[in-house]
Structure formats: structure tokens, C-alpha cells
Structure 1
């Protein structure tokens, strides 16, 4: 199914990645300097144009490309480069270019100091999650091409709405994954480990509808939506079961019209993470069963399960084994895998029963936090790893 290069070829690939590492880091910083908040459509459009331009600069014009309008979300772009081997396989490289950071964050960003052991760090909004992975993926194909080895067809899929649930890009991702033989998601690693299991996510909106009244003249006539929703939120937190991998976090709460009015409406945004479909069912049932003390207030729950749980499915097991073989050939001691609480677009692919590896990108830490950073000394090895895997997928991994 796959062909292993000679040790000399693997060594040459890692050496070349080390040689061009400063250029890869320059490309990473170029992407970071263009802010791409999930909610800034003009910024996203500019960021995607920049990403496409960078890809074409490094790889030439694609054999096929398509831009899918995102509506209220960032657009999704696919760029396909034809393979060079006989009966070449097809690899999908997925990465999102949107970030959680509001536009303007970059101006006040403080660069991190070196780590305790003196290792250099580079910081910036989205540098870890996941602009480093984007640049490394582009360079991985470039280095694989330079090696002269036969290569699979490679499709890049860049989406601009992953941080808000991939609401527009999900069907594009699923269709592209079904056309490919394997999918590699360029999300950051977990301290160097690839991610083979991720929690499923729910993005629930809870609305409380009460009765407005004057807070001083006739408070007894009112039924506070804020009070009722507060009761609901406290009760919902008790539905969490960390020992089963289920967490519940109310991250947004809004309500009321004025300080002297008993609130007629309130809403809450609730983030739910589960490790199994059974927990999805339990959470749904127990949230629906919550009662608030004032029967005049109506509670409506939008059960929006966004991503299914991801596990290491049978189709992905040989892909993990292949990546580990490549890592050993390139001089690594090991390539660990792990389960994480966050979700990604890999969840969609795994749920289809297709082969996928996630966390093929940056090594660093601090996703979604002001301390977000990468270790630039890991950029060559991570880029070479993806390039090496591409070189081993000259034939389909699955039938």
C-alpha cells in the first residue's frame, strides 16, 4: 500500500527542512500579522487571499481550485495539486485560518520570553492555533516535491469558521474527505503528540422568557427571566460528569432591558463537551428535565450538537502506524498519540469512518490564551513529518 524511502532519503528530507526553517517561520509570521477573527469578514477575506497567494508562491498554481462562499462565515478554499505517481493516492490537508482573537489584538500582544530551559518561543494571535500548521503544510508539500519522490494528489482545504463550529464549511469538509484516501488535519499537536480522540461538542442556546414589570412599583407582577435562567445555569452545571468526560460551561449570559425592570428575557450560551454518544443522550434528557422555581418563566433549549465525538477508528489505525514509521525513519524516538477535550474538523471525518489524523501542526501551547506560542525549533521536524507521510501515501491507504 505504501513505499518506504531509504534512510538516506529521510535524513535528506529532515536536513532540508532544517535548512529552510527560517523561511517557514517567516511565512508563519506573515500569516499571523494578518488578523483573521472568526467574526471579521473583511479580515477573513484578506487573510484567505494572503494564504492563497502564499500557497501559490511556494507551490505554483494549483491544478484545480474552488472558493466556497461562507455567507456570514469566512469562505472555504480548496487547492488541488495533482500527484506524480502511477495510481497516486489522494491526501486532504485541512486547516482553518480563522482565530478566536478580535481584530486589534495584535497591536497589544506581548512576545513571550524564553522557556525555563532557554528555548525560544514565538507568540501571536493564532500562531499556535493554527497558522503555524498552515505554513508547515504548504512547505511539507514543497519539500516532498523537491525530494523527487512520487507523490499523491494533495488537496488543501482552508476554512474560515472552525472556531465557531465550521457552520458553513462542514459539508465541504465531509465531501472532500470522502473523495480523498486519507485526511491530515494541521491543528496543533498536544505537546508533540498527534490527536486521535477528541470530545464531541454542543453549542446550546438557552432562552428564558418571563414577565416584565416595574421593579419598584409592582415587582410581584413580574417573573424574572434572569433569575430563572440563573437557576437553570446552576442546575445545568450539576449535569456535568467529568469522570465520564462530560463538561458543561456557560460562557455567555445576557438579559434584561433596564436595571429597574424585572427582566422579561435572558439568554445563555452553553458549551458542552462529551466523550460518547451515550453522554449526549443523557445530557439532553437531564437538561430538558430541569425545572425553575417560577412557573411563569418558560425555558427553551436549542440542542445544537456541533461535532460528534472522535475516536481512533479502524480506518485511522494504519494511518497512525504509518506516521510512526515515518517519525522513526526521521530519527524521532517516538510519535505519541493522545485524547484531548477540544474538538476540530477531524471529528467530522472520523464520524464518517474515514482515516484521519489530527494534530499534525505546531508544537507549543496556550491555544485561545494570551500566552499562545510555538517553539520555532520544532518547525523543521513537524514539516518533515508531514512531508514524509505524503511521500508514503503514493498509493491509497484504504481500498
Structure 2
């Protein structure tokens, strides 16, 4: 592995501490603009705000492109050319990825209550999307700002902001994959796992199961009917048994709809099933075993839409040197360690890892409560996390080598 001279991570962290109130102000500015994944006007305003904030802190990018998202939020790339020797002709290229959409419906902010201090007296800040993942967005922008202000050589940095991660990155996935293939490394600014970076994530499937039966009058001729609801209920129970938590495989039916009236044997029913797997082998097993499920009434037809959304992510050979370099930077900051961990949730890092490219996820906020009303960050961790990303970017002026 090669790395070029870089600004001391400790000095960058100290500088981040000096401007931490400004970084937090930018975090809260982003939080105050609600960006529900399903609110296209809100997403457009949020991306405009994010671009404006980036330009305020870093100046006009050397290149930018906005990719229309259709029914999803747009994706924006902003590239800042490197300042190292030979920049643009072999210098490192770092991709910083972060989503600006949130799971929270527009209007949530008005009723949000700020959390009290933690048991040990540490301040918390809450808000829709503050942990997942608007803090990471602001920290990433400031990381490059502080690294540039240090005057040390830097790689080319591309920011990729997408507005559909929470609903599967339906429009942004090809943009992410193309950008990652052009970069040397990818850092995903998703929140940490209690300070740990995320090097393994489960793959996800969002399956739709449809049962088509035979309608009949529930009182006059129930024997003529074949209940889609009864059959789909049998399927759901059988599907739950395909789960294998000891292998990291979970199956959850979260939505169930069906029928047309109480006095009608249901002719149609649908279920939405969330599936998480840790390996491609488990993905194949789940597909096979779900397809093999039989229901008791042969008149009911079961159809399964096998919609695998994200592949499993593991610490691949390309990412191991990047993790080692991040730990070097953390030691320079004075940290005792920089742990890594596996988590059940998926992110855009899954796509990059599946390509065999170097990627680290969970480079953003320290806090807790993703997708929960109590979502919060610890603002006292903002300088260290900003300094970590700034220091790591500064060490990537040349492509990594094993």
C-alpha cells in the first residue's frame, strides 16, 4: 500500500474542533429542510440547498452533473480536482457518497422533540434525518474544506448525493456504480455503528407475493371459493420458517392486504416481505425454498416477485488496505482504536463492494436511533469524525496498493 505525505490527522481534528459550531450549524440547516423520499418538491429543494452549502464551503466544482431521478430524487455529482503532483493524471480519486432523502414524512419536523442529555450528561441533538444521514453530509463537506485549507496535496474528490437510498436507490444505483468504477476508493458517509465503521452489511430483498384465488359468496356458496387470504397466510407462515438467524438470514412479512368484502371469499391478496441475507449462497437458498412452498388449496395461484435490492457486502480484499489506512489515521488522531463491524441494514456501499472495489461505510455520525423518533447525534463527536475523513482523504493522493 502506498500513501503520500499528508496533513497530520491530529491537526485536522483540532481545526475541526475550532469550527465545530459552524459544522453543527450546517447539519441543522440540512435537517430543517425536510426531504422525505416520497416528496419530490422537498427533495428538489433539499438537493438545491445541499449544492449551495457545498459551494459556499468549497467553491464552484470543477465538474458537476445532475441526474434526473424520475419518480425519485435526483442524483448530483460535484467533482473537485486534486492538488497533488500530477493531479488528474494518476493522482488518487476519492468518491464520497451520501443520501439526502430520509424516511420521515414531510411535516415530521414540526412535532419533533429534542432529546435530553444522555445519562452521562453528554449533549444530544435530534431531528428527522440528523443521524441517517445529514450529519455525514455536512461532515464530508467540511472534511474536504479543512484538508484543502491545510495546504497539503490532495486527491480529486467527487461528492455523490442521491435522493432515493431509503427506497432502494432505484434510479441512483447505476450512477453510483459508474462513479465508483472511476474512483480509486469510495467512502460512504452513512452513520457509524456507535463509532465503528461498517465493513459488512446484509443483502436485502423486497419481495412482493401475490395470491390469486376464486371469489364466492361467503354464506351462500363458500365451497365454490378458494380464499387467497387463507392461502397467502399459509405461505407467510411457511416463509418465516425459511429464515435462518444463525446464518444471518431474516424474513419479515411487513405488509398484508387482500379481499374485497367481509362476505366474499377473497380472490386476491398480496404481501410485502423483507428479506436479509449475509451471503449469496443464502440468497440462492431463500429463492429456491420460497419457490418450493405449496399451499393447501391448489386452486390458489401464488406468484413471487424475487426483487433482490442490494447484494451482501463483506470486507473484500480491495477494502482491507483502506480499513488499515483509516486505522492509521485514527491512531494519528489519538484514538485507541477504530473498530469495524457487520450490521443488518444495507446501504449504497453494498453496490460498490459487490463490484470488488475498495469501500468503507459508516464514516459519518455518531449517535443512534436511525428511522426512529428518537434519532439523535452526539455533537461532541463531530470534530473527530470530520477529522477522520479529512485525514483519510489526505492520505489518498495516490491509489492504494496491497
Structure 1 range deviating more: 233-242 or 256-265: 256-265
Using the size of structure 2 for normalisation, the TM-score is 0.96
Q: Name the CA distance, whole Å, in 2 between partners of 1:324 and 1:122.
A: 27
Structure 1 range deviating more: 249-258 or 357-366: 249-258
Give 1:102 shift.
1.3
- Residues 353 and 6 (structure 1 numbering): CA distance in 2 closer, same or farther, change over 3 Å? closer
- 2:213 equivalent to 1:210: yes
Contact persistence 1:207–1:265 (CA under 8 A): yes
Give 1:111 shift.
1.2
Give 1:7 shift.
8.3
Give 1:398 shift.
4.3
- Residues 313 and 207 (structure 1 numbering): CA distance in 2 closer, same or farther, change over 3 Å? same
Give 1:215 shift.
2.3
Contact persistence 1:144–1:387 (CA under 8 A): yes
Contact persistence 1:360–1:386 (CA under 8 A): yes
Q: Name the CA distance, whole Å, in 2 between partners of 1:200 and 1:102.
A: 26
Give 1:220 shift.
2.1
Alpha-carbon RMSD across the aligned residues, in angstroms, is 1.4
Contact persistence 1:181–1:398 (CA under 8 A): no
Structure 1 range deviating more: 284-293 or 175-184: 284-293
Contact persistence 1:90–1:154 (CA under 8 A): yes
Give 1:52 shift.
0.7
Q: Deviations over 1:163-192 (max 9, x none)?
A: 111111111000000000000000000000
Structure 2 counterpart SS, 1:344: coil
Structure 1 range deviating more: 172-181 or 251-260: 251-260
Q: Name the CA distance, whole Å, in 2 between partners of 1:255 and 1:44.
A: 32
Q: Name the CA distance, whole Å, in 2 between partners of 1:6 and 1:53.
A: 28
Contact persistence 2:9–2:332 (CA under 8 A): no
Q: Deviations over 1:288-308 (max 9, x none)?
A: 111111111110000111111
Q: Deviations over 1:230-256 (max 9, x none)?
A: 111111111000000000011111112
1:121-132 counterparts in 2 under 5 A?
A: 121-132=124-135
Q: Deviations over 1:114-162 (max 9, x none)?
A: 1111111111111111111001000100010111111100000011111
Structure 2 counterpart SS, 1:7: coil
Gaps of 5+ in 2: none
Q: Name the CA distance, whole Å, in 2 between partners of 1:2 and 1:127.
A: 35
Q: Deviations over 1:46-72 (max 9, x none)?
A: 111111111111111111000111111
Q: Name the CA distance, whole Å, in 2 between partners of 1:246 and 1:7.
A: 43
Q: Name the CA distance, whole Å, in 1 between partners of 2:126 and 2:155.
A: 33
Q: Name the CA distance, whole Å, in 2 between partners of 1:221 and 1:374.
A: 58
Contact persistence 2:9–2:329 (CA under 8 A): no
Q: Deviations over 1:256-281 (max 9, x none)?
A: 22222222111111110001111011
Structure 2 counterpart SS, 1:30: helix
Q: Name the CA distance, whole Å, in 2 between partners of 1:120 and 1:9.
A: 25
Contact persistence 1:213–1:219 (CA under 8 A): yes
Give 1:41 shift.
1.2
- Residues 315 and 3 (structure 1 numbering): CA distance in 2 closer, same or farther, change over 3 Å? closer
Q: Deviations over 1:323-367 (max 9, x none)?
A: 000000011111000111111110110111100000000001111
Contact persistence 2:7–2:391 (CA under 8 A): no
Q: Name the CA distance, whole Å, in 2 between partners of 1:333 and 1:71.
A: 46
